[in-house]
Amino acid sequence: KSNLRPDYTFENFIVGESNKHAHATCLAVADSPGQDKFNPLFLYGGSGLGKTHLMQSIAHYILQHNSNMKVLYVPSNKFTNEIIEAISKNKTEEFRNKYRTVDVLLIDDIQYLIGKASTQQEFFDTFNALHDEGKQIILSSDKPPKEIKTLDERFRSRFEWGVPIDIHAPDYETRMAILKNKAEIKGLTDIISEEIFEYIANNITYNVRELEGALNKLSVYSELGDIKITEELAKNVLKDFISKDSKVTITPELIINTVSEHTNISVSDIVSTKRSQDIATARQISMYLCRKYTDKGLKSIGDAFGGKDHSTVHSNIQKVEDKIEKDPEFAEMVDVIIKKLNPQK
């Protein structure tokens, strides 16, 4: 009856530094849905970091503890399709009956909720109707509200009514814990050595789904009988898999390109001497990231920006550091760019 995966529960979710805030917030919402401060609950973070798992955990939890509540989980493309179909077949009444009578509505991957004005309007009305009645709305996305370019401004501000919650990539300890937990579930603990776990945790750093994928690759060997997988075999089996996630060297060029892509300011403007606010900010952030994520000194960073002198670079970096301290929104934006760069530390 339900479209929830039975194994996406809080019990099966490993909590670590990277996701403990998200986990705690989700538990709080599951425990008492509809509280203003978490309504909507907006979860965001890169692919494979556990957003769907956490959302469905909330749904399971509420269904288990509040059997009288109506809980509806839907991926946003399904939601969009249903709106489109309802509008084209004159069945909006039915659509509203389905979506406006729930106590908890969870819409996954909201970044895909694109479409015509009429579909956005229907979504907007659904959101408002539920919110007005104090019903819990839970949304997920791969980026924070203000960066979802496909959505109207009116959504972005509404999505920030509750505090958007960020899920980070798991740190090493969390990756090890997740690997061991999944290996246990798959019955692989006897054939995978500590060294192999470490090898995986050291090489797949940014995506829990891929940690699991690596175990799946090794799991074929468990079917071959009672062999213990050697480190050499594991490395060989995982070679291609891991190179996808392999370390990219962060260079000033990569940083400038990433900032350019993120800010929509061209590379040539970033390395120019133009002083308009947006361009200067993009330039400052780029310099700051060069200092932080490359081993370049001030002089050679200056060179990468068309030959700025080291004191200019220094004062630009300073400006970014100050602004990160004082302006949480700015800090968050820098954080998102860092995520895109995906430094392996």
The rounded distance, in Å, linking the Cα atoms of 106 and 130 is 12
> Does 51 show up as a binding residue in the annotation?
yes
Q: Per CB under 6 A, does 208 bind ligand ADP?
A: yes
Q: Per CB under 6 A, does 106 bind ligand ADP?
A: no
Cβ nearer to Mg ion, comparing 166 with 271? 166
Cβ nearer to ligand ADP, comparing 92 with 219? 219
Cβ nearer to Mg ion, comparing 110 with 334? 110
Stretch 209-228 residues interacting with ligand ADP (CB under 6 A): 209, 212
Q: Per CB under 5 A, does 52 bind Mg ion?
A: yes
Q: Which two tokens stand for residue 226?
A: 């009672």
SS3 track for the chain: CCCCCCCCCCCCCCCCCCCHHHHHHHHHHHHCCCCHHHCCEEEECCCCCCHHHHHHHHHHHHHHHCCCCCEEEEEHHHHHHHHHHHHHCCCHHHHHHHHCCCCEEEEECHHHCCCCHHHHHHHHHHHHHHHHCCCEEEEEECCCHHHCCCCCHHHHHHHCCCCEEECCCCCHHHHHHHHHHHHHHCCCCCCCCHHHHHHHHHHCCCCHHHHHHHHHHHHHHHHHCCCCCCHHHHHHHHHHHHHHCCCCCCCHHHHHHHHHHHHCCCHHHHCCCCCCHHHHHHHHHHHHHHHHHCCCCHHHHHHHCCCCCHHHHHHHHHHHHHHHHHCHHHHHHHHHHHHHHCCCC
> Does 50 show up as a binding residue in the annotation?
yes
Q: Closest approach of Cβ 182 to ligand ADP, in Å?
A: 7
Half-sphere exposure of 220 (CA within 13 A, CB side): 7
Cβ nearer to Mg ion, comparing 54 with 341? 54
Residue nearest to ligand ADP (CB): 50
SS3 track for 198-249: HHHHHHCCCCHHHHHHHHHHHHHHHHHCCCCCCHHHHHHHHHHHHHHCCCCC
Q: Closest approach of Cβ 246 to ligand ADP, in Å?
A: 20
| CA 7 to the chain's CA centroid | 20
* Segment near ligand ADP (CB under 6 A); pick from 13-21, 241-249, 296-304, 333-341: 13-21
Cβ nearer to ligand ADP, comparing 180 with 323? 180
Q: Closest approach of Cβ 212 to ligand ADP, in Å?
A: 5
Q: Closest approach of Cβ 46 to ligand ADP, in Å?
A: 7
Question: Of Mg ion, ligand ADP, none, which one sits near residue 14, judging by CB under 5 to 8 A according to partner kind?
Answer: ligand ADP
Number of amino acids touching ligand ADP (CB under 6 A): 16
Stretch 178-207 residues interacting with ligand ADP (CB under 6 A): 178
Q: Closest approach of Cβ 51 to Mg ion, in Å?
A: 5
Stretch 45-74 residues interacting with ligand ADP (CB under 6 A): 47-53
Q: Closest approach of Cβ 181 to ligand ADP, in Å?
A: 6
Stretch 14-33 residues interacting with ligand ADP (CB under 6 A): 14, 19
Cβ nearer to ligand ADP, comparing 178 with 270? 178
Question: Of ligand ADP, Mg ion, none, which one sits near residue 228, judging by CB under 5 to 8 A according to partner kind?
Answer: none
Cβ nearer to ligand ADP, comparing 11 with 240? 11
> Which amino acid makes up residue 65?
H
> Does 126 show up as a binding residue in the annotation?
no
**What does the binding site for ligand ADP look like in residue numbers (CB under 6 A)?**
8, 12-14, 19, 47-53, 178, 208-209, 212
**What does the binding site for Mg ion look like in residue numbers (CB under 5 A)?**
51-52
- Known binding positions for ATP: 48, 50-52
